[in-house]
Amino acid sequence: MSVTAKSIAPQRDQSPLNMTASYWLEAMNEIGVDYLFCNMGTDHAPIIEAMAQWRQAGRKYPKVILCPHENTAVHMAIGYYRVTGRAQAVLVHVDAGTANSAMGLHNAFRSRVPLVLMAGTAPVTIRGELLGTRDTYVHFIQDPYDMKGIVRNYVKWEYQLPTGIIVKEAMRRAFSMAESDPPGPVYMTLPREILAQTWEPEQVASFPVDAYGPLRFTGVDDAPLTQIAERLLAADYPLLITSFAGRNIKTPALLDELGQLVGMGVIESYPQVLNISKASPVFLGNLSEPHLPKVDFGLMVDTDLPWMPKEASPNPNTFWAHIDIDPIKNDIPMWGFPGHLKVQADSYLALTRLIEIVKGKLTDAHRARAKTRLEGFAKQRQEAVVYIQNLAKDKGTPGLINPAYLCAELNKVLREDDILVSEAVMNEPSVGMQVLRTKPGTVLGLGGGGLGYSPGAALGVKLAKPDAMVLHLSGDGSFYFGNPSSTYEVAREHNLPIFTVVFENGGWSAVKECTIKVHPDGVSRDTDEFQARLNPAYQFQKVCEAAGGHGEDVINPEDLPAAIARCVKAVREEGRSALLVAHVKRL
C-alpha cells in the first residue's frame, strides 16, 4: 500500500488556542520584550495565528515592527538597545532571512549588543502528518544542512527548539545568554511543527529572571586596582584610551573625574559612543599615536583598537593596564596590544573603586603635578579649538562642499538631548571635530565593520527616544548598504522621523585611501583608477520622498544653512523624515 497525504493526515483543530506559539508570546511578555522586529515568512504561520487569537481575546504582546528588510530589523534592535539597555527580539524567515540578517549580527557581535535573532525552519514533515507540515515550494529549497552556520561566527549561543513544552525555558536561556557579560547576540531556530504543537497550561513552566537571569560582572579585587593607582600617581605622562566605556552613561563622568584628579589626558580611539564630554578639560581628541612615545603609564578602558600599530611608536617602557569587559579579546584571533595588567570587569564599577583608591593615596605633590599637566592640556585644547574653527571657515565651492563646514552647520541645530548616529566613514574626522556632543548617550558609532548599520540603528534610537531629533550621517557608499527603501517606509509607518545627511563624494573613499596606503606609488594612483566610484547623479533624496519625507540636494555651500533648516522643520514640526544630500569634496 502506498503512503499518501490523505491516508495519513489526522483530523485536527486548525486553530488551537494552546499552541507553542502562544506560549512563546507569553515568554516574550514574561521576559519583558518591548518590540518584535520582524520580517515574516511561511515558517511563522503558527506565530501569526497566535497573535491573531491574542488580539481577538484582547491580550497584549510585544509590539510588532514589520521591516521590509532584515537589515533594518536587526539594526533597529541594536539602536533601541544602545539607548535603553534592554535586549529585544528579531524574527526572520528561515535561511534566507538569516542570511539577510548576518551583517547586522556581525555589527551586534562586535558592538557587544545583546539581541535574540530567531528564524523558523522548513517543516520536517512533508505529507500532512503534523499541523504545520510542508505545503509550498520554498519548504523544499529552504532546508540547508547547517542553517545556524550562516551566523555562527557572530553569536554567543545557538539552539533549535526541540519541543514546545520547554519554550519558556529556552527563551529565558536565550535572553540570559545574550545579556550575560560580555553581552552579544544569540540565534535560535523554531521549527513550524513545533510552534504548532499544543500543550496544557500546566505543562509549560515559567522561568523567572531572579533564578534564571544573566551573569553580570561585579566589582574587582582591590589588589590590581591598587597597583593601577600607584603606577598612575607615579607617572609623568599618564594617558587613558577608551572606545566604548560610555555604553554605560554613568561612566563618562568617571573618566572625566579620574583624568582631572591625576592630570591624565583621555583619548577616544575609534569611539562607538560618547565616552567623555568634548568640553572636558582632559579630552585630547581621537588620536593616541602622537602621545605614545611620551606615555609612561597607559590605562586602556573598554577598547578594541587603542591605536593603529602601523602608525604608532609606543614607548617600549610604558606600563599598560587594561580594564575591559573582554581584555583578552576572545573573539579577535590576533590582537597585538600590550597589557601588563589585565582586569576583566564592568568598567563603571572598576573605575568607581579606582577613584576611591586614588583619592586615598593622593598627596599635595601629586595634586601639584596634576595641575601642571592640566595647564598643559588647556593650551593644547585651545590650539585645537582654533584649528577646528579654521577648518570650518572654508565653505568649499559648488559641488565641493567642505565636510568640516557641513558638520559645523549641523552642530548649530542640535539640542542637548538630540542623538547623533554616525556612519560618515572617511568623513568621520570632520564629524568628531565639528559636532560637539557633551551629554552621555547622545552619540552612536559603528562597533563592527558592516556598513549599512546606521539607518536602522537611527530608527531604533528614535523608537527609544521619540522626543529627541535623531541626526543620521552616512557616506554615499555606506548609504546603499543600509536598505534605505526599507528604512523610510518603516519611519513613515511607525512615525519615526529621522534627519539623514548623505555625504555624497562619488563613491567609497575608504577603498581609494587604503589602496594608496598599500600601493603609494602604484599604477592605480597614477591612473586614478580605484574601482570605487559610484554614479554621482543618483538622487538619494528621492528614496526618502517616496515614503512621504522631505528631500534636499545641496550643491552650493551657500544654500546649506537654509536647506538644513527646512529639514529640521520637517522632522521636528511636521513629523516627517528628511534627507539632505551634500555634494562634498570628491573621491
106 falls within a domain: yes
CA–CA separation, 428 and 302 (whole Å): 20
Does some domain include residue 420?
Answer: yes
Is 386 domain-assigned?
Answer: no
Tell me, letter by letter, the H, E, C secondary structure of 544-564: HHHCCCEEEEECCHHHHHHHH
Q: Are residues 339 and 431 in the same domain?
A: no
Q: What's the pLDDT score for residue 4?
A: 58
Residue 385 within any structural domain of the chain? no
Alpha-carbon gap, residue 235 to 317, rounded angstroms: 12
348 and 248 within one domain = yes
Pair 67, 24 in one domain:
yes
**216 occurs within a structural domain:** no
d(CA 117, CA 113): 12
Burial letters for 538-558: b for 16+ Cβ neighbours within 10 Å, e otherwise? eebbebbbebebbbbbbeebe
Q: What is the sign of the dihedral through the CA atoms of 404, 405, 406 and 408?
A: positive
Total domains in the fold of the chain? 3
Residues 201 and 231 in one domain: no
Q: How many residues does the chain have?
A: 587
Positive or negative, the Cα torsion across 192, 198, 201, 203? negative
Examine residue 522 and state whether it is found in any structural domain, yes or no. yes
Last residue of a domain, one of 379, 414, 442: 379
CA distance 98 to 147: 8
Considering the domain architecture, whether residues 162 and 265 belong to the same structural domain is answered as no
What is the domain-level CATH number for residue 257? 3.40.50.1220
The answer to whether residue 1 sits within a structural domain is: no
Check whether residue 260 and residue 163 sit in a common domain: no
Q: Answer yes or no: do 148 and 120 share one domain.
A: yes
CA 179 to chain centre: 15
Cell of 178: 545574550
Same domain, 347 and 417: no
Residues 146 and 45 in one domain: yes
**Distances, alpha carbon 273 to alpha carbons 149, 223, 306, 363, 415, in Å:** 30, 30, 15, 34, 17
How far apart (Å, rounded) are the C-alpha atoms in residues 7 and 488? 50
Taking the CB of residue 290, how many other CB atoms lie within 10 A of it?
Answer: 13
Cβ(130)–Cβ(196) under 8 Å?
Answer: yes
| pLDDT at site 582 | 96
Domain end residue (candidates: 357, 379, 401): 379
Instruction: Show which of 178, 211, 244 is a domain's final residue.
Output: 211
- Provide the CATH number for the domain around residue 563: 3.40.50.970
Beta-sheet strands, E only, within 398-516: 400-401, 419-423, 443-444, 470-475, 499-504
Sheet with 186-191, strands from edge to edge, namely: 63-66, 35-38, 88-92, 115-121, 186-191, 158-160
Domain carrying residue 133: 20-211
pLDDT given for residue 264 in this prediction: 98
pLDDT recorded at residue 523: 87
Per-residue pLDDT of the chain (587 residues; tens, 9 = 90+): 455 555 555 555 678 889 999 999 999 999 999 999 999 999 999 999 999 999 999 999 999 999 999 999 999 999 999 999 999 999 999 999 999 999 999 999 999 999 999 999 989 898 989 888 988 988 988 889 999 999 999 999 999 999 999 999 999 999 999 999 999 999 999 999 999 999 999 999 999 999 999 999 988 899 999 999 999 999 999 999 999 999 999 999 999 999 999 999 999 999 999 999 999 999 999 999 999 999 999 999 999 999 999 999 999 999 999 999 999 999 999 999 999 999 999 999 999 999 999 999 999 999 999 999 999 999 999 999 999 999 999 999 999 999 999 999 999 999 999 999 999 988 999 999 999 999 999 999 988 989 999 999 999 999 999 999 999 999 998 999 999 999 999 999 999 999 999 999 887 777 878 888 888 888 888 787 878 777 777 899 999 999 999 999 999 999 999 999 999 999 999 999 999 999 998 76
Predicted TM-score (pTM) of the model is 0.94
- Within this chain, do residues 147 and 247 fall inside the same structural domain, yes or no? no
Between CA 280 and CA 550 the distance in angstroms is 36
Same-domain status, 270 and 191 = no
Same domain for 427 and 360: no
DSSP state of 474: E
- Residue 128 backbone class (left: φ over 0; alpha: ψ -120 to 50; beta: rest): left
Assess contact for 263 and 284: CB atoms under 8 A.
no
Distance CA 479, CA 99 (A): 20
Give a yes or no: residue 37 inside a domain.
yes
pLDDT tens for 442-485 read 999 988 989 999 999 999 999 999 999 999 999 998 999 999 99
